């Protein structure tokens, strides 16, 4: 039987948050703990803060499998990019760095991939067959591609080129704020973006995440797509849930008994 509990840690540009997750329900079984991301986002400082957070969680649940999600392309445990953190992360063996500091195995994953996996396991895409595309609309556009419940990592679909620009530079929520667009005019940009994704992937479902998804009634009705599009269920907790679930589903074991 698979482990029923695991720890998820979500590292962002402003905050590092974590909790113990019940993998049978997708619910948090501890309070969500949040610490500020150290200024500058240097690797050693972030690892130290994550270690401090883990120590607080393991008062309640020592020895559980750990998943960590991070705002970067993650390839074989190495961070190949860096968003809103130090450029020192680029090319860094991040998973190894965390494991050496924590003294145990972890699973390290892109934050949008973790969010997408959370929606597939516990949220809007649960039990949906075929291709599901999650997009997080925030400072940029993160993406996760799920096929029959299996994650295809590091899609980075916010960087598709549309009209000579990175799609996220025009269609992310930050573009709406920066250019002071109303919902209807922002939705026109989203229409181009999601229509392009439809053409490329013929998905069975779109899931829209990010903080703006709580206002989905303001912009989703403007979109005319062949694919059903729905808001994410687990906005603030998606990274925690997905990281924890992937740690167990991809075989990262719990720490040995002390």
Domains annotated for the chain, with CATH where assigned, are 5-113+237-249 (3.30.420.40), 126-231 (3.30.420.40)
- The reported pTM is 0.92
Cβ atoms of residues 33 and 56 within 8 Å: yes
How far is the C-alpha of 163 from the C-alpha of 166, rounded, in Å?
8
The H or E element that residue 70 is part of is: strand 66-70
Query: How many C-beta atoms lie closer than 10 Å to residue 77's C-beta?
Result: 17
Q: What is the pLDDT along the chain (258 residues), one digit of tens a residue?
A: 346 999 999 999 899 999 999 999 999 999 999 999 999 999 999 999 999 999 999 877 678 999 999 999 999 999 999 988 999 999 999 999 999 998 889 999 999 999 999 999 999 999 999 999 999 999 899 999 999 999 999 999 999 999 999 999 999 999 999 999 999 999 999 999 999 999 999 999 999 999 899 999 999 999 999 999 999 999 889 999 999 999 999 876 555 444
């Amino acid at each position: 039987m698979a482990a029923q509990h695991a720890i998820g840690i979500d590292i962002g540009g402003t905050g590092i948050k974590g909790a113990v997750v019940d993998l049978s329900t997708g619910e948090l079984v501890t309070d969500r703990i949040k610490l500020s991301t150290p200024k500058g986002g240097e690797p050693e400082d972030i690892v130290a803060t994550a270690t401090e957070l883990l120590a607080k969680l393991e008062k309640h649940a020592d020895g559980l499998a750990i998943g960590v999600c991070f705002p970067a392309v993650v390839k074989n445990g190495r961070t190949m990019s860096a968003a809103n953190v130090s450029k020192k992360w680029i090319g860094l063996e991040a998973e190894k760095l965390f494991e050496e500091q924590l003294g145990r195995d972890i699973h390290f994953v892109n934050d949008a991939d973790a969010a997408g996996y959370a929606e597939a396991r516990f949220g809007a895409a649960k039990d949906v067959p075929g291709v599901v595309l999650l997009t997080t609309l925030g400072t940029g556009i993160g993406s996760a591609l799920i096929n029959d419940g299996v994650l295809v990592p590091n899609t980075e679909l916010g960087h598709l080129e549309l009209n000579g620009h990175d799609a996220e530079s025009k269609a992310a929520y930050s573009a709406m704020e920066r250019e002071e667009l109303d919902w209807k005019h922002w939705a026109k940009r989203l229409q181009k973006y999601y229509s392009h994704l439809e053409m490329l992937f013929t998905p069975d479902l779109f899931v829209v995440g990010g903080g703006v998804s709580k206002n989905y009634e303001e912009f989703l009705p403007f979109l005319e797509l062949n694919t059903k599009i729905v808001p994410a269920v687990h906005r603030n907790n998606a990274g925690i849930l997905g990281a924890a679930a992937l740690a167990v589903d991809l075989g990262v074991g719990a720490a040995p008994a002390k």
